[in-house]
Amino acid sequence: MTLRYLLHEALRQAWRQRLLTLVAVSALGLAALFAGAWALLWRNAQHWEASLGQASQLAVYLRPGANGAAQASALAAAQAVSGVAGVELVSPEQARQSMSADPQVKEALDLLGDNPFPAVLKVRLGSDAPADLAAVSQRLKALDGVEEVDAGQGAVESLLKASGALRTTLLGLLALFSAAALLIVAAVLRLAAWSRRQELGIMRLVGASHAFIRAPFLLEGLLQGLLAGALAAGLLAFTLAWLSARLAADLQVDLAAFLPQGVDGVLALQLCGACGLLGLLGASLGIATVTLAYEDEEAH
């Protein structure tokens, strides 16, 4: 019964000053958005780091101008390399035909005239252990006619560097908006307590304890944070889904290949919990810094 009353009081107070409540929830939601974006980048960076040195396929680029005989010779030599499970040759003509499936790319290739694609050997490895990957890469690179061996590590390292810089920026923004949200929630609930000072004084006269009087304000701050966290998680999930659909439709790019870790239930709960704690902290700060009317009377 007591919890039901406290919840009712918290919701009633939030509705009475709904504009201020909206401001507080918006501030908490912005902080939660930066926290969610940071967490997404951090989780995906862990996945990218784990993938370094664990490629199961290599791309072996042959020197430009390699004719059919040279391509066949390189194919046979790559198949004989220890640690190689299979090799597939992609000729320049096949690469051009595959890329020409996109009308815009086909138009650009037609303007170029000459075929810009080299012959490529797609090498499937028998093991994805980092030591085996390095050894097979060195053997393949030493083959006659090979220009370059790519395991995709350069792209992963670039992603990690960009992710680190972006996470540092997001962390700074998170700290700034969290402090702002904390102060806004404190100011909103401090104002709410002050506006109800006479009502709270009457409650004190009829025997209500300090904790009972202040509890609805703390609960209101907690609810504001939980709502903001849920909204931020939903917005992040919607944004990722929309962006993934647009990239797949317009550029034929699979976003999940770059961001395999999305917004799941665990991240949503973490955002709600952290934001709820921030709202509770703001409410505690606001209530701690306001002196209600009955406290002045009791002091005398």
Q: Return the percent helix, strand and coil in the chain, to nearest 5.
A: 75, 10, 20
**Amino acid present at 181:** A
Mean pLDDT of 45-67: 73
Q: Where a domain ends, among 151, 182, 214?
A: 151
Q: Which domain holds residue 38?
A: 2-51+156-299
| Strand (E) or helix (H) holding 123 | strand 120-125
Q: Where a domain ends, among 151, 175, 194?
A: 151
Both 9 and 119 in a single domain? Answer: no
DSSP secondary structure letter of residue 76? H
Both 194 and 293 in a single domain? Answer: yes
Both 254 and 109 in a single domain? Answer: no
Both 272 and 142 in a single domain? Answer: no
- pLDDT tens-digit readout, 93-142: 887 787 777 677 677 767 777 777 888 888 887 776 666 777 887 888 88
156 pLDDT band (50/70/90 cuts)? low
Name the average pLDDT for the chain. Answer: 83
- What is the predicted pLDDT for the residue at 139? 86
User: Does the pLDDT value for residue 297 go beyond 50?
Assistant: no
Percent of the chain surpassing pLDDT 70: 86
- What is the predicted pLDDT for the residue at 5? 84
- pLDDT tens-digit readout, 189-240: 988 888 887 787 778 778 778 788 889 999 999 999 999 999 999 999 999 9
User: Does the pLDDT value for residue 300 go beyond 50?
Assistant: no
User: Does the pLDDT value for residue 263 go beyond 50?
Assistant: yes
CATH code for the domain in which residue 137 is found: 3.30.70.3040
- What is the predicted pLDDT for the residue at 279? 96
DSSP secondary structure letter of residue 255? G
Both 171 and 102 in a single domain? Answer: no
DSSP strand pairing (84-90 vs 57-62) = unpaired
User: Does the pLDDT value for residue 294 go beyond 60?
Assistant: no
- pLDDT tens-digit readout, 3-50: 888 888 899 989 999 999 999 999 999 999 999 999 998 888 877 666
HSE at residue 219, side-chain half, CA atoms within 13 A, is 19
Both 163 and 251 in a single domain? Answer: yes
| Separation CA 60–CA 58 (nearest Å) | 6
Q: How many domains does the chain have?
A: 2
C-alpha torsion angle, residues 249, 253, 258, 260 (rounded to 10): 50
User: Does the pLDDT value for residue 183 go beyond 90?
Assistant: yes
Both 194 and 73 in a single domain? Answer: no
Mean pLDDT of 55-69: 80
Mean pLDDT of 250-263: 77
- ∠ CA 65-69-72, nearest 5°, is 105
Q: Where a domain ends, among 108, 125, 151?
A: 151
Both 179 and 265 in a single domain? Answer: yes
